[in-house]
Amino acid sequence: MKQRAILPVLTPIAQQEIPAVKGDTKKLLEDLKSFLPPERLVTKPDDLFAYECDAQTFDRAIPLCVTFPESTAEVSRIVQLCSKHNVPFVPRGAGTGLSGGVVAVGSLVVSTARLNKILEIDVPNRQAWVQPGVVNMHLSKAVAADGLHYAPDPSSQYACTIGGNVAENSGGPHTLKYGVTTNHILSLEVVLPDGTVVMMGSPAADFPGYDLVGVFVGSEGTFGIATKILVRLTPLPEGVKTILAIYDSVTDACRGVTEILGRGILPAAIEMIDQKTMRAVEQYIHAGFPDDAAAALLVEVDGLTDDLELQGSAVLEACKATKVRTVRLAKDDAERAKLWKGRKQAFGALGRLAPNYYTHDGVIPRTKLPEVLEEIYKIEKEQRVIIANVFHAGDGNLHPVVLYDEREEGVIERVRKAGEDILKLVCKVGGGLSGEHGIGIEKLAFMRDFFGEEDLQEMRRIRDLFNPRGLCNPGKAIPSAGRCVEPGPGRKKLPVGH
Amino acid sequence: MAVDTTSTPLTEEELAEFVRSGSMLHVFGNGTKRHHGPSPTPDVPTVCLRKLSKITAYEPGDLVVTVQAGVRLVDLQAELAKRNQWLPIDPPYAEATIGGILATNSSGPRRYGYGTIRDHLLGTRSIGADGVVTRSGGRVVKNVTGFDLHKLHIGAFGSLGIVTEASFKLRPRPEISAAFVFPCASVDEAHTLLLKVFESKLRPVALEALDGRLKHIIDGAALAIVGVEGTRPVIDRHYRELRDLAPRLGILEGERAEPLWNALRKLPDALRDYVRLRIGAKPHELKRLLPSAPLWISVGTGIARADLEPAADLHFSVRRMADKAATLGGYVVAESAPPAMQNRDKLIWTPPGEQPLMKGLRQLRDPKRVLNPGRVTL
């Protein structure tokens, strides 16, 4: 999916928002070389290409260098040097983000790749201290034998890191029942942008004082770098049942979602997958979705085995009360695993249909799903683009994926317009701009549709308290005051090293 | 507009106008927790939010509600119950308002199963010390649009702004609510028993160990309570396995459990002339921090309350306990006290640590310390 660019590309908004590097990069590199061995200080342009963007590829830029600290002390030292030489720095996990949050235009990258240890697992108290570079899935695997897991499960969990999850306040299919990242972070060790190391939160519940953890989680790497993270571990459910409901219209599938929730059932997950996605998935990994249906709901109930039967049949009944074609339980664990693999790798599968994609992740009130989906398909026709929909329907968290080939004349403008139209729709029904992908660079220009200038100013003020000199991931998450430029993918190419 | 005595604004705008007058203000809802935290600075005008009491928006299909800060939780729950939904928190005091619960981060026994009000809060409207109204978060159940500034109000005693409106995600009400009760010889025995339940595969929503001094609930030496909510098969499963753990088991279900849950919500007032300490630690480490006579232990959460007689030298022993707790990774703070003891300089209300950033937040949000002066030590 990721296109290798010869030249870095920045959208107009990124050009406006990300400040040029003014500091002394030469002296910074010299100082870094004094304590970082060459394999932990990447400076060659060829090697730096791997760090030009995240999974959102509109914005691509070459950083000054990429550092690989192995301890909190090293992170602090690197950050202090950046501060000394006035060079911005950008924290980076696995680079699976979808909003351009890690794009570093000539600035330094602090990679957490070597801060990847699980430091302490406290099974009796259901907590674990991890470094930020630990892969989400690795943590769940490490505690599975003890009957525990780390509940937030983004679709990229095979690759994404806990540090990145903290920065983005990541969600995932099972957050419907279990909550998002912020509900599972108990304490943080943070290197502030001036190099100071502070602790936030506590392993003990209801620690008095302000909720610093709450405001740090989701700050998109603009408040500092989390170097140790205390997560809550959740007991694995004793049993799980997965239900597959097949619909002949997307609207009816959306009605299925509201019917399930309206009946007082709280499934662990309700995912919707439309026809285009199912077809792509089937060609790619043969998960078992029918390719002639308009949409499928993947519903999971979990908990004590005693009432799984009840929960499962309640979901079946709810679906039957809507215009469902067929609805059934997954017959065994193998089928269940396959269906979920299909869901979680849907984005990858869609990548085989077109060389580029552009996805939004607006959240809407759940009762608005049927009408909003209908509108999205109208936008698809109007803008002559292809939009696939695969999303966390139970949360109302849309993921319309606009598929395109950037080489096609005029397509970028239509893709951009489709994205704008979808977000206008989300705003109109009282929704949120992003459910889990973050604002990064990509959605900056839309922030004013969702917040007033005074709200944004308050956010800037709090950020500036943590990050007074603005060196930590500048130009991300909150648009700067008094600027307004065109959102979405742009075409302008910049020279290497800008 | 001058603020002399207690004002009761009818609208957010009216309240914002009070704030813009620049005077110091004590803001409260129904005042149920005025003995919590340090005492307010004396002779400061008070503003009561009781009349900001509208449920602004409720769409049952979305399982989301937006309310003004002065709405009483009990009234909100009654409204939600009509649609078989609830906000799954059960903090003390029937009269408590949403704003007050947010400001004090107040929670009850079901915190173990459902989390605190923080876990359900989606967004706020609030008034800053400059009288400017800002929004944070939204009305959708998952949202990373902008920083989570609304979380800063939780437990802040109104010192970082005045919440006027808040949105929450809701849950369907459980089919059956049950309380399993075990008479025990001591609160320590109850604690040990409940830790076993904590370790088991069972999924209770509350694990409370109560000392016999709470005479309005217990007539024996101590009581262990296991709260369970869900369908019939889930309740039955708990009954079977809990009976194996402790044969002398009583069960209260549905309406029969209500008086017990209500009594638990009155717990904080049971011994009101005492200084109440809150002791927090990881669930399995809490015992090492406890004083000899804890009153009430939320075993699954790792929080205990102990009441101490308000002796003149009390703050010395509290400080000793707090220092010890800090070395063990937990904390001891005063939670509430009789007015004479609410002196903020002597008792520990906020543990040390994290203070530069917290002080920075306070300075940024309320540089002149006009919002609820005295109520936080930051």
In the predicted model, is pLDDT for residue B353 greater than 80?
A: no
* B chain contacts of residue A447, beta-carbon cutoff 8 Å: 145-146
* A chain contacts of residue B348, beta-carbon cutoff 8 Å: none
* A chain contacts of residue B378, beta-carbon cutoff 8 Å: 209-210
Q: Residue B57: which residues within 8 A CB-CB, separation 6 or more? A: B64, B65, B66, B139, B167
Nearest to A435 by CA among A201, A202, A162, A155: A155
In the predicted model, is pLDDT for residue B163 greater than 50?
A: yes
**Cβ within 8 Å, pair B62-A439:** no
What SS3 class is residue A10? Answer: coil
- A positions 329-358 inside 8 Å of B (CB): none
* Interface test with chain A among B134, B140, B194, by most A beta carbons within 10 Å: B140
Cα-Cα-Cα-Cα dihedral of A294, A297, A298, A301, to 10°? -170
User: pLDDT tens digits for B34-77?
Assistant: 888 888 888 999 999 999 999 999 999 999 999 999 999 999 99
| Tens of each residue's pLDDT in chain A, 498 residues | 444 444 568 989 999 999 999 999 999 999 999 999 999 999 999 999 999 999 888 899 999 999 999 999 999 999 999 999 999 999 999 999 999 999 999 999 999 999 999 999 999 999 999 999 999 999 999 999 999 999 999 999 999 999 999 999 999 999 999 999 999 999 999 999 999 999 999 999 999 999 999 999 999 999 999 999 999 999 999 999 999 999 999 999 999 999 999 888 999 999 999 999 999 999 988 999 998 999 999 999 999 999 999 999 999 999 999 999 999 999 999 999 999 999 988 988 998 889 988 889 999 999 999 999 999 999 999 999 999 999 999 999 999 999 999 899 999 899 989 999 999 999 999 999 999 999 999 999 999 999 999 999 999 999 999 999 999 999 999 999 975 555 555 433 333 333
* Token reading at B258: 């209500």
The matching CATH number, chosen from 3.30.450.40, 3.40.50.2000, 3.40.462.10, 1.10.10.10, for A241-437 is: 3.40.462.10
Rounded CA separation A204/B288 (Å): 13
Distance of CA B235 to the CA centre of its chain: 27
Q: Between A204, A365, A451, which is nearest B280 by CB?
A: A204
- A positions 355-374 inside 8 Å of B (CB): 363-367
Q: Domain B271-359: give its CATH code.
A: 3.30.70
The CA-to-CA distance between both ends of chain B, in Å, stands at 28
Q: In chain A, where are the structural domains located?
A: 118-235, 241-437
pLDDT of residue A246: 97
Residue pair B133/B126 in contact (Cβ under 8 Å)? The answer is yes
Residue pair A244/A335 in contact (Cβ under 8 Å)? The answer is no
Instruction: Decide the pairing of beta strands A89-92 and A108-111.
Output: parallel
In the predicted model, is pLDDT for residue B127 greater than 70?
A: yes
Rounded CA separation B173/A278 (Å): 35
> Same topology for domains A118-235 and A241-437, yes or no?
no
Q: Between B139, B152, B231, which is nearest A310 by CB?
A: B231
Taking the CA of residue A148 and the nearest CA in chain B, the distance in Å comes to 11
The pTM score is 0.95
Identity at A97, one-letter amino acid code? G
Residue B215: pLDDT band with limits 50, 70, 90:
confident
Q: Between A147, A266, A306, which is nearest B237 by CB?
A: A306
CA distances to A6, A43, A498 from A494, in Å: 10, 19, 7
> Same topology for domains B176-266 and B271-359, yes or no?
yes
Residue B148: pLDDT band with limits 50, 70, 90:
very high
Bridge partners, A246 (sequence order)? A296, A326
Let me know how long chain B is.
378
Residue pair A439/A456 in contact (Cβ under 8 Å)? The answer is no
**CB contact, 8 Å: A379 with chain B?**
no
**Domain covering B176-266 assigned CATH 3.30.70.3450 in the classification:** yes
CA distances to A274, A351, B87, B138 from A344, in Å: 14, 13, 31, 27
Nearest to A287 by CA among A347, A351, A352, A335: A335
Identity at B261, one-letter amino acid code? W
User: Which ipTM did the prediction report?
Assistant: 0.96
Identity at B64, one-letter amino acid code? V
The CA-to-CA distance between both ends of chain A, in Å, stands at 25
Bridge partners, A226 (sequence order)? A190
In the predicted model, is pLDDT for residue B377 greater than 90?
A: no
* Class of the CATH domain delimited by B12-172: alpha beta
CA distances to A166, A288, A304 from A269, in Å: 21, 18, 16
* Interface test with chain A among B63, B107, B133, B143, by most A beta carbons within 10 Å: B143
Taking the CA of residue B330 and the nearest CA in chain A, the distance in Å comes to 6
Q: Find the closest chain A residue to B359 by CA distance.
A: A210
User: pLDDT tens digits for B258-306?
Assistant: 999 988 887 666 556 788 999 999 999 999 999 888 899 999 999 999 9
Rounded CA separation B170/B238 (Å): 25
User: pLDDT tens digits for A312-328?
Assistant: 999 999 999 999 999 99
Q: Domain A118-235: give its CATH code.
A: 3.30.465.10
Q: Find the closest chain A residue to B356 by CA distance.
A: A198
**Cβ within 8 Å, pair B358-A266:** no
Taking the CA of residue A435 and the nearest CA in chain B, the distance in Å comes to 4
* Token reading at B365: 């949000």
Identity at A41, one-letter amino acid code? L
Cα-Cα-Cα-Cα dihedral of B143, B144, B146, B148, to 10°? 80
Q: In chain B, where are the structural domains located?
A: 12-172, 176-266, 271-359
**Cβ within 8 Å, pair A304-B330:** no
CA distances to A59, A413, A415, B76 from A409, in Å: 19, 9, 12, 56
Q: Residue A413: which residues within 8 A CB-CB, separation 6 or more? A: none
pLDDT of residue A6: 47
* B chain contacts of residue A266, beta-carbon cutoff 8 Å: 171-172
* B chain contacts of residue A303, beta-carbon cutoff 8 Å: 203, 230, 234
Rounded CA separation B100/B73 (Å): 10
